[in-house]
Structure 1
Amino acid sequence: MTHEVLSRVQEMSGQFAAAADETERLGKLSDESVKLLRQTGVMRMLLPTEYGGYAAHPRDYAETVMEVAKNCGSTGWVTGVVGAHPWEMALMDRRLQDEVWGENPDTWIASPYAVMGVATAVDGGFKLSGRWSFSSGTDHCEWIFLGALLGDATGAPVMPPTVMHVVLPRKDYTIVDDSWDVIGLQGTGSKDIIVDGAFIPAYRTIEMDAVAAGELAAERAGRTETVYKLPFWSMFPLGITAAVIGIAEGALAAHLDYQRDRVTAMGTLIKDDPIVLSAISEAAADIAASRTQLLDGISRLYDLADAGKPISFEDRSIVRRNQIRCAWRAVEAVDQIFARSGGNAARRHNVMQRFWRDAHVGLQHAIHTPGSLYHSTALTTMGIEPEGPLRMMI
């Protein structure tokens, strides 16, 4: 059964597509794009039910992100990133949840989680300073998650390193307005953030290790819903890769529209060209395979958690490996069809070029880096336990 939020997004797909040009021109989500996201309820899919959310199955969430991204890559990307943050907020102290959602369940939370600052322990909490890049959708958010290293009294990171996620209200950080000038996903407004000595109460923090394993954080937070028992490095990448796959689906749809009646300079109808049609079919199959594999992976983890079974490091590792390959396979498919779309596909008025640019920039996210993670997963499937950095982001 189709989730009600997905149904609303499908009904409004034309409106999302119509707002895409303005979103890219502004370098952040347009007012219309924001309004559509709020009307459909996408950002509340992973919000706990007591705050007016759906606590939805992550498969439904990923499919909805794909649907948004199929019409506007930047809006889909922000949906995949900002829409995931209620999931982690549900694992935080209830005092913080009340601060964020008590008056308005549609309050949005930004990030990034990259460790670009140091949180030094002080009486009652921490002092934080640093500069973070890539805060997608940040102009429309009232709170932010930031990754930080725990620091000692001198401000130097403690050893071995302890990674924390800390939460700040909008008044405690600065958005650097001119810090997002890019060739793709321009409308995400993924700007830099500066924090200069802000105080963070201890209850607005959580150690990364607590959310990485999933079930531990849910138990501490008193969350019994299955979705909150899943590991961070399975949930956070899900929305981002779903956006990339949705962008690839949008590129394919635009390509089919464009090629249907296209005639080459040599007078050949594309629909009579077996080479191009073969490439279309291969690309369509690869994009469909990416969708299926991404949804299958998170569904298998959900089923384990729902049955009360542990999710092993190997389970997490395989799902992450496949999630990365899904993104690369989908973007490689976009390259195949874009290469056969002719010179007019590069014109600004042709939506194909925007999907092509957005797909490639989406692939640059750190969660799509295959090297060490592929290495780690290969060891794991051989029965060899990866150590140290090879366990990162899994």
Structure 2
Amino acid sequence: MSYQSVTEPPRSEPTSSGQGGAQAAPTPAELIARADALVPVLAERAAKTEDQRQVPEETVRDLIDAGLIRIATPKTYGGHGVDIDTLFEVGWRLAQGCGATGWFYAVTQSHNWLMGTASKEVQDEYFTSPDVISSSAFAPTGKSEQVRDGWQISGRWPFSSGVDHAEWVWLGAMDIPRKRQAYLLVPRSEVKIVDDWYPAGLRGTGSKSVVIEEPVFVPEYRVFYPGPAHPEARDRHGRASYGMPQSQVMPIWLSTPLVGMAQGAIKEFARRTPERRLPGGRSHADLPGPQLRLAESAAEADAALALLRADLRDLIEFGAAGKQLTDEERARFRRNHCYTAKLAVSAVNRLYDASGANAILDPSPIARIHRDVNAGSHQIAVAWDNIAELYGRVLLGVEPNMAMW
């Protein structure tokens, strides 16, 4: 069995984004070029996206028309036959133009990747289109009861990014007898969206609450338990990353847009700084302060990119080989998810602090990036403290402070 992978970000000219007819599947280079072509479009719409508090319909259509929504879809169901490294290269680029769109893209694509490890029965039901979009609210905040052949669930689940565009919703619940979390897949038609999304940042993600007022039944085949590697999915779909535990892969999609936002902030700071003038007409670009800040932030953002690329290469290589990860390797991947987010926040904050009074005024791009990257870093999967402790304990031979799947 051979597995497709892109180990370095290839360079190519943009190609036609049409997906009709019997065209050959686009290469990773072509998909990346399509993402690059969308960056200025997303940047132009970024203020509108934030004002609407959800990703605009035209942006979703652009992502579909460019073939980018089906990157995570398994080839069996009409995907392009690429793996998570291509998804990463596309995802961080989109976030350069609009952090909220990058977040929406990475999160919804993570669901299509994850679905490839589920049973064939639910995959057949879910992938009625290779461009299917779903949202999630994985925290088990609702009410759930296990019944014969399934679950009864009701209640409220907040933070469901992109739910306005979703056909399905993944909802978290606790399997009490087994002491583990479960994800329950529910059709969008069976939930109510509550427009309560008024956050400090990432406003454009549309991460509204999902409510089920009267209990609905979820059949057991639509209940998913995250955790181990799925070699059977790897072999069925020809995707090496399915040979890795989900805990080593899923958090990458929360780091991805943050790293892209940092890259976007660097470009915006470099564009805007020469235009800023001191009394007497001297450009801020001539000052050592902005030069030093830009250099350090660029180094942090590039380091974050390099670290995630290296991890993705390892994950694909290990998954293809069916390698069993050691505790240290598991902890290292989780450390890097969080550390790259930490680097992205640091890079953006440093530039924002040197951007002057105009940086606090809307629709300043760097103000929006500052809001978005700090909001995204609050997601528990990329929060530093607990995972840093986990890694330190494992490295020192101390009992881990949390479970590692």
State the TM-score, normalizing by the size of structure 1. Answer: 0.91
> Displacement of 1:160 after TM fit?
5.7
| 1:314–1:115 Cα change, 3 Å | farther
Match runs of 1:58-207 below 5 Å: 58-102=84-128, 104-150=129-175, 158-159=176-177, 161-177=179-195, 179-195=196-212, 196-207=214-225
> Displacement of 1:55 after TM fit?
4.1
Within the candidate set 348, 351, 354, 1:337 is matched to 351
Alpha-carbon separation, structure 1, partners of 2:36 and 2:43: 11
Alpha-carbon separation, structure 2, partners of 1:52 and 1:113: 26
Alpha-carbon separation, structure 2, partners of 1:317 and 1:265: 52
Count of matched residue pairs: 378
Cα pair 1:16 1:36 within 8 Å, conserved: no
3-state SS in 2 of match to 1:38: helix
| 1:265–1:360 Cα change, 3 Å | farther
Cα pair 2:71 2:82 within 8 Å, conserved: yes
Q: Tell me what 1:321 maps to.
A: 335
Q: Tell me what 1:34 maps to.
A: 60
> Displacement of 1:368 after TM fit?
1.7
State the TM-score, normalizing by the size of structure 2. Answer: 0.89
Alpha-carbon separation, structure 1, partners of 2:34 and 2:254: 21
3-state SS in 1 of match to 2:54: coil
Query: Are 1:391 and 2:403 an aligned pair?
Result: yes
Identity of aligned residues (%): 29
Cα pair 1:46 1:53 within 8 Å, conserved: yes
3-state SS in 1 of match to 2:173: strand
Cα pair 1:301 1:315 within 8 Å, conserved: no
Within the candidate set 69, 78, 93, 1:52 is matched to 78
Cα pair 2:243 2:318 within 8 Å, conserved: no
Q: Tell me what 1:155 maps to.
A: none
Cα pair 1:301 1:311 within 8 Å, conserved: no
Q: Deviations over 1:359-387 (max 9, x none)?
A: 11111111121222111111111233415
Cα pair 1:167 1:200 within 8 Å, conserved: yes
Q: Which amino acid aligns with 2:198?
A: D
Q: Which amino acid aligns with 1:368?
A: V
Q: Which amino acid aligns with 2:306?
A: T
Q: Structure 1 unaligned runs (5+)?
A: 151-157
Q: Deviations over 1:79-129 (max 9, x none)?
A: 110011011111112222222222x22111110211223432222211112
Q: Tell me what 1:214 maps to.
A: 229
Cα pair 1:56 1:227 within 8 Å, conserved: no
Alpha-carbon separation, structure 2, partners of 1:217 and 1:28: 37
> Displacement of 1:43 after TM fit?
2.0
Cα pair 1:19 1:32 within 8 Å, conserved: no
Within the candidate set 5, 9, 13, 2:39 is matched to 13
Give every structure 1 segment of 4 or more consecutive aligned residues whose post-TM-superposition deviation is greater than 3 Å.
215-219, 221-224, 265-268
| 1:349–1:360 Cα change, 3 Å | same
Cα pair 2:231 2:322 within 8 Å, conserved: no
Within the candidate set 37, 48, 51, 1:22 is matched to 48
Q: Structure 2 unaligned runs (5+)?
A: 1-9, 12-27
Q: Deviations over 1:154-183 (max 9, x none)?
A: xxxx35623111100012111112x10012
Alpha-carbon separation, structure 2, partners of 1:299 and 1:58: 9
> Displacement of 1:223 after TM fit?
4.9
Q: Tell me what 2:309 maps to.
A: 295
Cα pair 1:120 1:126 within 8 Å, conserved: yes
Cα pair 2:38 2:94 within 8 Å, conserved: no
3-state SS in 1 of match to 2:322: coil
Q: Which amino acid aligns with 2:275?
A: D
Alpha-carbon separation, structure 1, partners of 2:69 and 2:284: 41
> Displacement of 1:56 after TM fit?
2.2
| 1:317–1:87 Cα change, 3 Å | same
Match runs of 1:347-362 below 5 Å: 347-362=361-376
Alpha-carbon separation, structure 1, partners of 2:75 and 2:302: 32
> Displacement of 1:25 after TM fit?
1.2
Q: Deviations over 1:171-202 (max 9, x none)?
A: 2111112x100121111000011123110011
Alpha-carbon separation, structure 1, partners of 2:48 and 2:54: 9
